Chain A
Amino acid sequence: GNSVTQMEGPVTLSEEAFLTINCTYTATGYPSLFWYVQYPGEGLQLLLKATKADDKGSNKGFEATYRKETTSFHLEKGSVQVSDSAVYFCALSDAAGGTSYGKLTFGQGTILTVHP
Protein backbone atom coordinates (compact mmCIF):
# COMPACT_ATOMS: atom_id res chain seq x y z
CA GLY A 1 0.00 0.00 0.00
CA ASN A 2 0.88 3.67 -0.10
CA SER A 3 2.92 5.23 2.68
CA VAL A 4 4.80 8.43 3.50
CA THR A 5 7.75 8.69 5.86
CA GLN A 6 8.88 12.02 7.26
CA MET A 7 11.94 12.84 9.28
CA GLU A 8 11.45 12.69 13.02
CA GLY A 9 10.87 15.97 14.78
CA PRO A 10 10.66 18.30 16.43
CA VAL A 11 12.98 20.60 14.52
CA THR A 12 14.19 23.74 16.27
CA LEU A 13 15.97 26.45 14.30
CA SER A 14 17.07 30.03 14.73
CA GLU A 15 15.59 32.69 12.49
CA GLU A 16 17.26 32.87 9.04
CA ALA A 17 18.57 29.30 9.29
CA PHE A 18 18.24 26.83 6.41
CA LEU A 19 15.44 24.29 6.67
CA THR A 20 15.21 20.78 5.27
CA ILE A 21 12.46 18.32 6.16
CA ASN A 22 12.93 14.93 4.54
CA CYS A 23 10.05 13.01 3.02
CA THR A 24 10.10 9.68 1.21
CA TYR A 25 7.16 7.74 -0.16
CA THR A 26 5.96 4.38 -1.38
CA ALA A 27 3.19 4.28 -3.96
CA THR A 28 1.71 1.76 -6.34
CA GLY A 29 1.08 4.18 -9.20
CA TYR A 30 2.16 7.68 -10.19
CA PRO A 31 1.29 9.84 -7.21
CA SER A 32 0.89 13.55 -6.82
CA LEU A 33 2.91 14.86 -3.87
CA PHE A 34 1.99 17.63 -1.46
CA TRP A 35 3.25 19.56 1.52
CA TYR A 36 0.58 20.83 3.88
CA VAL A 37 1.14 23.08 6.91
CA GLN A 38 -0.92 23.25 10.09
CA TYR A 39 -0.72 26.29 12.35
CA PRO A 40 -1.85 25.97 15.98
CA GLY A 41 -5.61 25.63 16.31
CA GLU A 42 -6.18 25.55 12.58
CA GLY A 43 -6.80 23.06 9.83
CA LEU A 44 -4.27 22.16 7.16
CA GLN A 45 -3.30 24.50 4.34
CA LEU A 46 -1.66 23.47 1.10
CA LEU A 47 1.90 24.81 0.96
CA LEU A 48 2.98 23.37 -2.39
CA LYS A 49 2.50 20.42 -4.68
CA ALA A 50 4.07 18.54 -7.60
CA THR A 51 2.20 16.21 -9.91
CA LYS A 52 4.94 14.49 -11.91
CA ALA A 53 8.58 13.50 -11.71
CA ASP A 54 11.12 16.37 -11.67
CA ASP A 55 8.40 18.96 -11.02
CA LYS A 56 9.36 21.58 -8.45
CA GLY A 57 6.65 23.01 -6.23
CA SER A 58 7.29 26.36 -4.59
CA ASN A 59 5.44 28.84 -2.40
CA LYS A 60 6.37 31.48 0.20
CA GLY A 61 10.08 30.66 -0.15
CA PHE A 62 9.53 26.92 0.36
CA GLU A 63 10.52 24.46 -2.37
CA ALA A 64 10.31 20.73 -2.96
CA THR A 65 11.28 18.66 -5.99
CA TYR A 66 9.54 15.40 -6.98
CA ARG A 67 12.36 12.84 -7.27
CA LYS A 68 11.06 9.58 -8.69
CA GLU A 69 14.43 7.86 -8.67
CA THR A 70 14.80 8.34 -4.91
CA THR A 71 11.03 8.42 -4.17
CA SER A 72 11.53 11.63 -2.25
CA PHE A 73 9.94 15.07 -1.89
CA HIS A 74 12.10 16.97 0.60
CA LEU A 75 10.94 20.40 1.77
CA GLU A 76 13.49 23.23 1.86
CA LYS A 77 13.59 26.90 2.73
CA GLY A 78 16.66 29.07 2.61
CA SER A 79 15.86 31.39 5.51
CA VAL A 80 13.13 30.55 8.01
CA GLN A 81 11.13 33.08 10.01
CA VAL A 82 9.43 32.83 13.40
CA SER A 83 6.11 32.85 11.56
CA ASP A 84 7.06 29.55 9.87
CA SER A 85 6.66 27.72 13.20
CA ALA A 86 4.01 25.07 12.53
CA VAL A 87 3.53 21.38 11.81
CA TYR A 88 4.46 20.28 8.29
CA PHE A 89 2.91 17.24 6.61
CA CYS A 90 4.10 15.48 3.51
CA ALA A 91 1.31 13.69 1.65
CA LEU A 92 0.57 11.77 -1.51
CA SER A 93 -2.45 11.04 -3.62
CA ASP A 94 -2.28 8.06 -5.93
CA ALA A 95 -4.62 7.65 -8.88
CA ALA A 96 -3.92 3.94 -9.26
CA GLY A 97 -6.98 1.75 -8.96
CA GLY A 98 -9.41 4.63 -8.86
CA THR A 99 -9.41 4.71 -5.07
CA SER A 100 -7.94 8.15 -4.71
CA TYR A 101 -11.08 10.27 -4.50
CA GLY A 102 -10.51 12.86 -1.79
CA LYS A 103 -7.88 10.67 -0.19
CA LEU A 104 -4.45 11.79 0.89
CA THR A 105 -1.93 9.55 2.63
CA PHE A 106 -0.04 11.65 5.14
CA GLY A 107 3.28 11.37 6.88
CA GLN A 108 3.40 11.71 10.66
CA GLY A 109 4.13 15.43 10.55
CA THR A 110 7.19 17.40 11.62
CA ILE A 111 6.93 20.11 14.26
CA LEU A 112 9.05 23.14 13.37
CA THR A 113 9.87 25.79 15.94
CA VAL A 114 11.81 28.88 14.89
CA HIS A 115 13.35 31.10 17.57
CA PRO A 116 14.19 34.79 17.09
Chain B
Amino acid sequence: KAGVTQTPRYLIKTRGQQVTLSCSPISGHRSVSWYQQTPGQGLQFLFEYFSETQRNKGNFPGRFSGRQFSNSRSEMNVSTLELGDSALYLCASSSWGSFNEKLFFGSGTQLSVL
Protein backbone atom coordinates (compact mmCIF):
# COMPACT_ATOMS: atom_id res chain seq x y z
CA LYS B 1 0.00 0.00 0.00
CA ALA B 2 1.45 3.36 -0.98
CA GLY B 3 2.11 5.84 1.82
CA VAL B 4 1.10 9.47 2.07
CA THR B 5 2.49 11.38 -0.90
CA GLN B 6 3.24 15.08 -0.82
CA THR B 7 4.24 17.20 -3.79
CA PRO B 8 6.36 19.05 -4.49
CA ARG B 9 9.19 18.09 -2.15
CA TYR B 10 10.79 21.53 -2.25
CA LEU B 11 9.49 24.98 -3.15
CA ILE B 12 11.13 28.37 -3.30
CA LYS B 13 8.88 31.43 -3.45
CA THR B 14 9.22 35.16 -2.87
CA ARG B 15 7.28 37.31 -0.46
CA GLY B 16 3.81 38.21 -1.63
CA GLN B 17 3.39 35.20 -3.87
CA GLN B 18 0.97 32.38 -3.22
CA VAL B 19 1.64 28.66 -3.13
CA THR B 20 -0.35 25.43 -3.36
CA LEU B 21 0.80 22.18 -1.81
CA SER B 22 -0.67 18.78 -2.57
CA CYS B 23 -1.24 15.68 -0.49
CA SER B 24 -2.46 12.23 -1.52
CA PRO B 25 -3.50 10.15 1.49
CA ILE B 26 -3.23 6.42 1.91
CA SER B 27 -5.87 4.66 -0.12
CA GLY B 28 -9.08 4.36 1.89
CA HIS B 29 -8.19 7.13 4.34
CA ARG B 30 -10.76 9.90 4.43
CA SER B 31 -9.20 12.24 6.98
CA VAL B 32 -6.33 14.53 5.99
CA SER B 33 -4.58 16.88 8.40
CA TRP B 34 -1.94 19.51 7.76
CA TYR B 35 0.87 20.62 10.06
CA GLN B 36 3.53 23.30 9.92
CA GLN B 37 6.96 22.41 11.33
CA THR B 38 9.52 25.12 12.14
CA PRO B 39 12.61 25.10 14.37
CA GLY B 40 11.15 27.82 16.58
CA GLN B 41 7.50 26.81 16.92
CA GLY B 42 7.80 23.08 16.41
CA LEU B 43 4.84 21.19 14.97
CA GLN B 44 1.60 23.13 14.79
CA PHE B 45 -1.78 21.93 13.56
CA LEU B 46 -3.23 23.83 10.62
CA PHE B 47 -6.52 22.08 9.76
CA GLU B 48 -8.24 18.77 9.11
CA TYR B 49 -10.55 17.68 6.32
CA PHE B 50 -12.92 14.73 6.15
CA SER B 51 -15.21 13.96 3.21
CA GLU B 52 -14.46 17.36 1.66
CA THR B 53 -15.41 19.25 4.83
CA GLN B 54 -13.12 21.12 7.17
CA ARG B 55 -13.85 19.76 10.65
CA ASN B 56 -11.05 21.30 12.66
CA LYS B 57 -8.82 24.32 12.41
CA GLY B 58 -5.74 25.56 14.24
CA ASN B 59 -4.74 29.12 15.07
CA PHE B 60 -3.40 30.33 11.75
CA PRO B 61 -4.38 33.44 9.79
CA GLY B 62 -6.85 33.30 6.95
CA ARG B 63 -3.99 33.33 4.44
CA PHE B 64 -3.76 29.60 5.11
CA SER B 65 -6.54 27.63 3.52
CA GLY B 66 -7.19 24.16 2.28
CA ARG B 67 -9.59 21.91 0.52
CA GLN B 68 -10.26 18.26 -0.03
CA PHE B 69 -11.49 16.55 -3.14
CA SER B 70 -13.91 13.67 -3.51
CA ASN B 71 -11.00 11.21 -3.86
CA SER B 72 -9.70 12.45 -0.45
CA ARG B 73 -6.69 14.19 -1.99
CA SER B 74 -6.08 17.52 -0.32
CA GLU B 75 -4.42 20.79 -1.14
CA MET B 76 -3.38 23.65 1.07
CA ASN B 77 -2.86 27.16 -0.13
CA VAL B 78 -0.92 30.01 1.39
CA SER B 79 -1.57 33.44 -0.07
CA THR B 80 0.55 36.57 0.27
CA LEU B 81 3.57 34.67 1.51
CA GLU B 82 5.64 36.08 4.36
CA LEU B 83 9.20 35.21 5.34
CA GLY B 84 7.86 33.52 8.46
CA ASP B 85 5.92 31.02 6.36
CA SER B 86 9.18 29.24 5.55
CA ALA B 87 8.68 25.79 7.04
CA LEU B 88 8.25 22.10 6.43
CA TYR B 89 4.57 21.42 5.75
CA LEU B 90 3.47 17.94 6.68
CA CYS B 91 0.33 16.16 5.66
CA ALA B 92 -1.09 13.22 7.61
CA SER B 93 -3.92 10.84 6.91
CA SER B 94 -6.04 8.41 8.86
CA SER B 95 -9.24 6.47 8.33
CA TRP B 96 -11.54 8.66 10.45
CA GLY B 97 -9.46 11.35 12.12
CA SER B 98 -10.51 10.06 15.53
CA PHE B 99 -8.62 11.27 18.58
CA ASN B 100 -6.98 7.91 19.35
CA GLU B 101 -6.12 6.95 15.78
CA LYS B 102 -2.62 6.61 14.36
CA LEU B 103 -1.72 9.33 11.89
CA PHE B 104 0.36 8.44 8.83
CA PHE B 105 2.61 11.31 7.78
CA GLY B 106 4.09 12.20 4.42
CA SER B 107 7.69 13.35 4.00
CA GLY B 108 6.59 16.96 3.72
CA THR B 109 7.04 19.92 1.43
CA GLN B 110 9.91 22.22 2.36
CA LEU B 111 8.83 25.79 1.58
CA SER B 112 11.39 28.57 1.50
CA VAL B 113 10.17 32.16 1.21
CA LEU B 114 12.78 34.67 0.06
Interface residues of A, Cβ cutoff 8 Å to B: 31-32, 36, 41-46, 49, 51, 89, 93-95, 99-109
Tell me, rounded to whole Å, the shortest Cβ–Cβ distance linking B95 to chain A.
11
Q: Number of B residues whose C-beta is below 8 Å from A?
A: 26
Taking CB atoms, residues of chain A closer than 8 Å to B106 are 43
Cβ B90 vs Cβ A102 within 8 A: no
The verdict on B56 contacting chain A, using a C-beta distance below 8 Å, is: yes
Taking CB atoms, residues of chain B closer than 8 Å to A104 are 43, 45, 103
Cβ B45 vs Cβ A44 within 8 A: no
Cβ B102 vs Cβ A101 within 8 A: no
Please, how many angstroms separate the alpha-carbon atoms of A79 and B35 in the complex?
Answer: 32
Cβ A109 vs Cβ B42 within 8 A: yes
Cβ B100 vs Cβ A43 within 8 A: no
Cβ A42 vs Cβ B97 within 8 A: no
Cβ B31 vs Cβ A101 within 8 A: yes
Taking CB atoms, residues of chain A closer than 8 Å to B4 are 43
